């Protein structure tokens, strides 16, 4: 087997659902264990909703499609393509990163702050998935796989069982740097990626992935809520303080400021309550949950998934 083939997603592999789920503590996933990407149900990425700030910008759409095509290449080659980001794109990153920096110093979980440094994520330039992926593998055997847009919930979550996060590479529209209706590199790299270097958080994410592969439709909805109130909007106790670790908070100044204002209701994390808590995707979040630690989140979730 040559080098390139070794890193390729195993195209002869079974479908996602054929890979054994138990034991849950299997962190020794290698690239060769990854299932084929075939049949991954993507939402139509060419359909840009009208509320997308770039919907009527011909040049933006071309550029977004171009980067999406680079991301998509991974599925044939297994190799992540670095993106040659333009000065304008770098400017958007710099603008958002600098504004978030001050809020992060005040409100982000100390683990997150360290992890961002460990991964070499700076305010100066957009980090490449290749760099972060290399480091992530060393630290927690998690990995990144580029994708061109939103995938359906079950597929997206299922990939976490292979300690793999599917990640976009394009960036939001310059007219509204504080806002994106879809995941972009700011949301992925500023929000999600650093937390996967935490061993407990990585294991927890993997458990959700296993859950998604076994879940009934109703259980899948519950897992979606669990993911939402932790991975996206989670808060954690730290030495008597409350800190943010959710990607939806860490990658958005509006959400982060709101989370630490008196307009939000903070609740102690309770699994039963969280999995039954319906939320509205597009609203600013009125209720947030605080976990005592990543280790406890992991153990509670283990029991829950084992009950499936
Ligand atoms: Fe996200």
User: In this predicted model, what pLDDT tens digit does every residue of 197-222 receive, in sequence order?
Assistant: 999 999 999 999 999 999 999 999 99
Tell me whether residue 187 is one of the annotated catalytic residues.
yes
User: CA-CA distance, 293 to 197, in Å (whole number)?
Assistant: 15
Q: Given this model, what pLDDT does residue 55 score? A: 85
- φ, ψ (nearest 5 deg) of residue 143: -145, 165
Q: Given this model, what pLDDT does residue 3 score? A: 33
Q: Bigger pLDDT: 194 or 280?
A: 194
Q: Given this model, what pLDDT does residue 11 score? A: 38
Highest mean pLDDT among 26-30, 54-58, 280-284: 54-58
- Please tell me the distance between residue 229's alpha carbon and the centre of ligand 1 in angstroms: 11
Q: Given this model, what pLDDT does residue 149 score? A: 85
- 2 pLDDT band, cuts 50/70/90, is very low
- 4 pLDDT band, cuts 50/70/90, is very low
What average pLDDT does this structure show over 232-261? 96
- 40 pLDDT band, cuts 50/70/90, is low
- Catalytic one of 52, 104, 107, 187: 187
- Please tell me the distance between residue 3's alpha carbon and the centre of ligand 1 in angstroms: 32
Residues with C-beta atoms within 5 A of ion ligand 1? 247
- φ, ψ (nearest 5 deg) of residue 198: -85, 120
Tell me whether residue 104 is one of the annotated catalytic residues.
no
- 16 pLDDT band, cuts 50/70/90, is low
Q: What is the mean pLDDT of the chain?
A: 89
Judge whether residue 20 has pLDDT over 70. Answer: no
Give the helix/strand (H/E) hosting 291.
Answer: strand 287-291
Highest mean pLDDT among 55-59, 76-80, 84-88, 149-153: 84-88
User: CA-CA distance, 239 to 249, in Å (whole number)?
Assistant: 20
- Catalytic one of 71, 158, 251, 252: 251
Judge whether residue 103 has pLDDT over 70. Answer: yes
Q: Given this model, what pLDDT does residue 247 score? A: 97
- Please tell me the distance between residue 56's alpha carbon and the centre of ligand 1 in angstroms: 24
- φ, ψ (nearest 5 deg) of residue 289: -115, 140
- φ, ψ (nearest 5 deg) of residue 131: -65, -50
- Measured from the Cβ of residue 241, the count of other Cβ atoms closer than 10 Å reads 10
- Please tell me the distance between residue 247's alpha carbon and the centre of ligand 1 in angstroms: 6
Give the helix/strand (H/E) hosting 244.
Answer: strand 241-244
Q: Given this model, what pLDDT does residue 12 score? A: 40
What average pLDDT does this structure show over 155-168? 93
How many helices (H) and strands (E) the chain has is answered by: 13, 6
- Catalytic one of 192, 205, 252, 255: 192
Structure tokens that stand for 76 in this block: 């044939």
Tokens 């979730």, residue located: 301
Boundaries of every domain in the chain = 49-306
Q: Bigger pLDDT: 270 or 182?
A: 270
Q: Given this model, what pLDDT does residue 194 score? A: 98
- Please tell me the distance between residue 214's alpha carbon and the centre of ligand 1 in angstroms: 22
Q: Which CATH class is domain 49-306?
A: mainly alpha
Tell me whether residue 232 is one of the annotated catalytic residues.
yes
Q: Given this model, what pLDDT does residue 5 score? A: 33
Q: Would the CA dihedral through 303, 31, 193, 45 be positive or negative?
A: negative
What average pLDDT does this structure show over 176-199? 94
- 150 pLDDT band, cuts 50/70/90, is confident
- 44 pLDDT band, cuts 50/70/90, is low
Q: Given this model, what pLDDT does residue 13 score? A: 43
Q: Given this model, what pLDDT does residue 128 score? A: 98
User: CA-CA distance, 159 to 239, in Å (whole number)?
Assistant: 33
Q: Lowest-confidence range among 7-16, 22-31, 165-174, 200-209?
A: 7-16
What average pLDDT does this structure show over 92-121? 97
Judge whether residue 45 has pLDDT over 90. Answer: no
């Amino acid at each position: 087997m040559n080098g390139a083939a070794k890193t390729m997603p195993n195209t002869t592999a079974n479908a996602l659902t054929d890979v054994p789920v138990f034991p849950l503590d299997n962190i020794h996933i290698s690239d060769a264990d990854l299932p084929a990407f075939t049949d991954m149900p993507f939402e139509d990425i060419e359909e840009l909703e009208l509320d997308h700030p770039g919907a009527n910008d011909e040049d933006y759409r071309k550029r977004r499609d171009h980067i999406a095509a680079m991301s998509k290449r991974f599925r044939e080659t297994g190799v992540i393509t670095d993106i040659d980001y333009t000065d304008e794109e770098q400017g958007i990153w710099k603008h958002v990163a600098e504004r978030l920096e001050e809020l992060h110093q005040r409100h982000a979980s100390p683990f997150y702050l360290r992890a961002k440094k460990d991964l070499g994520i700076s305010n100066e330039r957009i980090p490449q998935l290749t760099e972060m992926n290399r480091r992530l593998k060393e630290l927690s055997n998690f990995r990144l796989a580029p994708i061109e847009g939103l995938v359906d919930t079950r597929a997206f979550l299922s990939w976490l069982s292979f300690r793999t996060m599917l990640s976009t590479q394009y960036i939001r529209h310059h007219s509204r740097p504080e806002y994106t209706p879809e995941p972009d590199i700011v949301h992925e790299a500023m929000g999600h990626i650093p937390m996967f270097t935490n061993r407990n958080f990585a294991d927890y994410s993997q458990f959700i992935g296993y859950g998604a592969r076994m879940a009934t439709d109703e259980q899948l909805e519950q897992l979606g809520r669990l993911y939402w109130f932790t991975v996206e909007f989670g808060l954690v106790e730290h030495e008597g303080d409350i800190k943010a670790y959710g990607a939806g908070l860490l990658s958005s100044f509006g959400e982060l400021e709101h989370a630490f204002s008196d307009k939000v209701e903070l609740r102690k994390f309770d699994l039963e309550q969280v999995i039954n808590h319906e939320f509205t995707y597009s609203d600013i979040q009125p209720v947030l949950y605080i976990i005592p630690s990543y280790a406890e989140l992991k153990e509670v979730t283990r029991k829950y998934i084992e009950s499936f």
